[in-house]
Amino acid sequence: MMRALNDPILKVENVTMRFGGLVAVNNLSFTAGRGDITALIGPNGAGKTTVFNCITGFYKPTIGRMALRHGTIDFAAHIETVTDGDSESLKTPDGTLFLLERMADFEISARAHVARTFQNIRLFSGMTVLENLMVAQHNPLMVASNWTIGGLIGLPGFRKRENAALETAKYWLNMVKLTDRADDPAGELPYGDQRRLEIARAMCTDPVLLCLDEPAAGLNPKESLELNTLLRAIRDDHGTSLLLIEHDMSVVMQISDHVVVLDYGTKISDGTPEHIKTDPKVIAAYLGVEDDAVDDVEAEVGL
């Protein structure tokens, strides 16, 4: 069920990220399909979080292009025109094309509707669970409050929009089963709850692409199963495409439609979970090979 070929939503092309002399990501290209759960896996230090940081704007890639589309705008037809020009996006009646490497991190979230979670949880620990979810809906609420002026003088439009935002927050609280803890400070939640809250907060921004950085880290098997159900529900009910970094193979194999494997910054495999499970290069990266085969494998991978 890999839609990457027919209905791509994100095209990462020739992305290289260099930090001085260190090449963290080396000429990475892959496509994520709309409505797919795409997993990015690889040993520690393979550059997966760096790829995420490039896609979500926290780093600017040294070389490369990352194109995201809303709607059904034709990638092939427009992508070169936009790249040659100066603009970050192109809007047509069919949809909009964004060049993520040209956008700032908050613009990627606000305009391109790409949301992310973090490997080490970044919640607003001094604010309650509900407040965390309300902050996520900042941009539409700001518009509704007429950039604060209307809200300050008490215009009615803001109150209505705030109630709608509360409803969205309540919906996501229900989805992640945190309704009972809505008024507790986020910093007091147990680890698994904090992870789920972060996912709920990201979903409150109404994203088309949700990037999850190790969502199952530190979860026990039962919690991992619940996470799988949640992620599937996000994809099925909301049509959000997911991009996951994950080490937990139970999560990866059970729910992903498409897996991309990185090792030392280079893509070594790309395909369905069944394909990469048996790919010798992947096995070599995770488990190693016999000593006499090392040189061959390295040459093949391009190290």
Partner 1 sequence: MNETASTPSVDYVQLFKDALFAAVIAFGLFSLMIGVKTDQALNNQMILVLRPGLLASIVGLVFAGRFLIGYWQATRIARVKVKKAPLSPAMAKLASYALPACIGFLFAYPVLVLLTVGPAGAIKWIDNFGIQILIYIMLGWGLNIVVGLAGLLDLGYVAFYAVGAYSYSLLATSMPIKAFMAEMIGPSFWGLWAFWILLPLSGILAAFWGVLLGFPVLRLRGDYLAIVTLAFGEIIRLVLINWVDFSGGYAGISSIPRPSFFGIPFNAADNGFSATFGLEFSPIYRTIFLFYLIFALALLTAAVSMRLRRLPVGRAWEALREDEIACRSLGINTVNTKLTAFSIGAMFGGFAGAFFAARQGFISPESFVFIESAQILAIVVLGGMGSLLGVVISSIILVGGVELLRELDFLKNVFGDGFDPAQYRMLIFGLCMVLMMLWKPRGLISQRDPTVFLKEKKSVSSDLVKEGHG
Q: How far is the CB of 273 from partner 1 (least distance, A)?
A: 28
Q: Which structure tokens are listed for 100?
A: 């993520």
Member of 15, 67, 134, 210 binding partner 1 (CB under 8 A): 134
Nearer to partner 1, 28 or 211 (CB): 211
266 binds partner 1 per the rule CB under 8 A: no
Nearer to partner 1, 23 or 127 (CB): 127
Q: Mask of contacts with partner 1, 151-170, x by CB under 8 A?
A: xx-----x-------x---x
Q: How far is the CB of 189 from partner 1 (least distance, A)?
A: 11
Spatial contact of 186 and 124, defined as CB atoms under 8 Å apart: yes
Place of tokens 């027919």: 6
Start-to-end C-alpha separation, the chain: 32
245 binds partner 1 per the rule CB under 8 A: no
119 binds partner 1 per the rule CB under 8 A: no
205 binds partner 1 per the rule CB under 8 A: yes
Nearer to partner 1, 26 or 56 (CB): 56
Member of 13, 94, 184, 223 binding partner 1 (CB under 8 A): 184
Member of 73, 182, 225, 283 binding partner 1 (CB under 8 A): 182
145 binds partner 1 per the rule CB under 8 A: yes
138 binds partner 1 per the rule CB under 8 A: yes
Subset of residues 55 to 84 that bind partner 1, contact rule: CB under 8 A: 56, 58
Q: How far is the CB of 232 from partner 1 (least distance, A)?
A: 24
Q: What does the binding site for partner 1 look like in residue numbers (CB under 8 A)?
A: 56, 58, 105-107, 109-110, 115-116, 118, 122-128, 130-131, 134-136, 138-139, 141-142, 145, 148, 151-152, 158, 166, 170, 173, 179, 182-188, 201, 205
